[in-house]
């Protein structure tokens, strides 16, 4: 696949990059260059990205042609946003201070070439800036007024790169062109690239390493090249056609930023940012399920001022949930009124709203995986030994879980399947795990997960590799639709 380097005047570019063709912005914009297939990289090194300049249109038309510009239009716009600059500055505070602590002056400029700096000690900071503002060449300005802070970032043109830096720039452009080596056969023709975001060592990771390997194998069998990426690959998102998040998600978490940028770049995303917002907030879920008359245990959303009337609605014992709770953190059972007051007083220090729910004990919860509106798998997750939840978190922080049993869809109660698919449709058409209890003979929804567990030899126990193939086919169909 040919990659393009677009510059204003190729005659002034005296560097050779293997695997890339250097063209002028004029030729690129007028279509006077050899046809380049969709998915090709386009390194936009024009001297200006201002609105409606040649540099702006190179990135805009690259996206229209189904290619992958660097920088993308979203990155160009981000460089102009003062609020985003302030947010990035806050996020990088600690890294900025540790990286620049030995500098004695009051100002400092850092040049970033494809996420790298010529001085190794600034590589982490350079990569963080590239992740926030994915553009080939950046110059960041820092000021010291008691502490170091990021004062501004701008994209720079080739003409602003010192001659002594240019071999390094060419080296980093070359590095950016290369792909990590693959295990697939060399003759395999890949039509799409899928990034699988994971976090090695995550305690409650939604997919184990064996499951990730099975996803990769399924994808490559369909012509999808899969690459495992980590959070430091944020600046590379535009290189891919799809993003599959296999890290536990949250709105105030890097996974949401990945999903937002990927969606803005037009990638097919699971979990998409809308699903993350909806599923990770139990207040939203409670209100949505109530509005659509989805069967749940008695549930009420309440503020500190309304706490006094809650127990009359849901009874005792009851379960109190912090809106963004997960994995048993922020989900507490109140046995009596005094315990309810103690729990809510503590949780209201962190949030203005809480959710209280009727306590409905069962031996197990159903988890129905739903993909694109269709049931994917069914599991029974049993309560942890001597506990009322599937997961039990010890005082030491250690987690223990109950047994599980995967069940064929055909042998799962029809009412459970229908309730799960109807509930998932309220969120979107991606991948969801709907938790259901059967209470007094009727299924009720407990929770909807945007990032359900998919572990080797657990959720896939009945249909095996077909589970991974169905998810990869979901990506394939949507990536084909996007490209066409």
**What does the pLDDT look like over 55-106, one tens digit per residue?**
889 988 888 787 888 888 878 877 776 666 676 777 788 899 999 998 989 9
**The domain over range 192-272+471-483 is classified in CATH as 3.40.50.20:** yes
Hey, where are the domains in the chain?
A: 3-76, 79-177, 192-272+471-483, 282-297+360-449, 298-358
**CA 32/CA 339 separation, integer angstroms:** 74
Residue 274 has pLDDT above 70, yes or no: yes
Among 86-95, 282-291, 302-311, 464-473, the minimum mean pLDDT is found in 86-95
Domain 3-76 fold is Oxidized Rhodanese; domain 1 (3.40.250)
Domain 79-177 fold is D-amino Acid Aminotransferase; Chain A, domain 1 (3.30.470)
Q: Is the pTM of this model over 0.85?
A: no
Equal CATH topology for 79-177 and 282-297+360-449: yes
**CA 45/CA 47 separation, integer angstroms:** 6
Mean pLDDT of 342-371: 94
Residue 35 has pLDDT above 80, yes or no: no
Q: Which residue has the higher pLDDT, 474 or 186?
A: 474
Please give the pLDDT value at position 185: 45
Domain 282-297+360-449 fold is D-amino Acid Aminotransferase; Chain A, domain 1 (3.30.470)
Q: How far from 360 is each of 126, 270, 297, 439, 442, CA to CA, in Å?
A: 52, 31, 7, 7, 12
pLDDT tens string 380-396? 999 998 899 888 877 77
**CA 420/CA 445 separation, integer angstroms:** 8
Q: Which residue has the higher pLDDT, 208 or 41?
A: 208
202 and 230 Cβ atoms separated by less than 8 Å: no
Residue 345 has pLDDT above 90, yes or no: yes
CA-CA-CA-CA dihedral for 182, 184, 186, 187, to nearest 10:
-150
Pick the CATH number of 298-358 from 3.50.50.60, 2.40.30.10, 2.70.240.10, 3.30.1490.20: 3.30.1490.20
């Amino acid at each position: 696949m040919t990659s393009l380097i677009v510059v204003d005047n190729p005659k002034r570019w005296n560097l050779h990059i293997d695997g890339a063709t250097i063209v002028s912005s004029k030729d690129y914009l007028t279509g006077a260059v050899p046809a380049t297939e969709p998915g090709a990289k386009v390194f936009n090194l024009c001297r200006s990205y201002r609105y409606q300049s040649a540099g702006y249109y190179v990135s805009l038309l690259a996206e229209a042609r189904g290619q992958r510009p660097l920088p993308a239009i979203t990155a160009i716009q981000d460089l102009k946003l003062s609020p985003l600059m302030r947010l990035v500055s806050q996020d990088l505070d600690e890294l900025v201070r540790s990286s620049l602590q030995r500098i004695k002056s009051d100002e400092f400029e850092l040049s970033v070439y494809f996420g790298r700096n010529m001085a190794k000690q600034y590589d982490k900071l350079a990569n963080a800036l590239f992740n926030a503002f994915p553009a080939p060449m950046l110059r960041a300005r820092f000021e010291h007024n008691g502490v170091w802070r990021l004062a501004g970032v701008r994209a720079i043109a080739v003409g602003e790169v010192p001659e002594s830096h240019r071999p390094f720039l060419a080296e980093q452009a070359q590095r950016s062109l290369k792909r990590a080596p693959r295990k697939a056969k060399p003759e395999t023709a890949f039509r799409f690239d899928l990034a699988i975001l994971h976090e090695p060592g995550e305690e409650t990771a939604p997919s184990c390493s064996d499951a990730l390997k099975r996803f990769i194998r399924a994808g490559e069998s369909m012509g999808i090249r899969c690459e495992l990426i980590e959070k430091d690959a944020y600046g590379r998102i535009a290189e891919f056609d799809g993003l599959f998040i296999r890290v536990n998600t949250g709105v105030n978490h890097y996974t949401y930023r990945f999903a937002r940028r990927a969606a803005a770049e037009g990638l097919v995303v699971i979990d998409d940012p809308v699903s993350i917002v909806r599923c990770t907030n139990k207040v939203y879920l409670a209100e949505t399920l109530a509005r659509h008359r989805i069967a749940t245990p008695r549930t009420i959303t309440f503020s500190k001022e309304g706490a006094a009337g809650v127990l009359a609605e849901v009874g005792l014992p009851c379960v109190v949930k912090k809106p963004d709770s997960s994995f048993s953190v922020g989900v507490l059972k109140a046995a009596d009124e005094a315990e309810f007051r103690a729990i809510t007083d503590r949780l209201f220090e962190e949030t203005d709203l809480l959710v209280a729910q009727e306590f409905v004990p069962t031996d197990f919860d159903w988890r129905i995986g739903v993909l694109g509106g269709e049931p994917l798998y069914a599991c029974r997750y049993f309560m942890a030994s001597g506990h009322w939840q599937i997961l039990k978190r010890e005082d030491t922080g250690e987690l223990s879980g109950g047994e599980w049993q995967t069940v064929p869809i055909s042998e799962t109660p029809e009412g459970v399947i229908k309730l799960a698919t109807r509930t998932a449709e309220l969120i979107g058409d991606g991948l969801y795990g709907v938790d259901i209890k059967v209470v007094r003979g009727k299924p009720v929804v407990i929770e909807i997960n945007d990032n359900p567990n998919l572990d080797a030899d657990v959720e896939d126990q009945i249909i095996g590799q077909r589970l991974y193939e169905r998810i990869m086919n979901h990506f394939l169909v949507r990536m084909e639709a996007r490209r066409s």
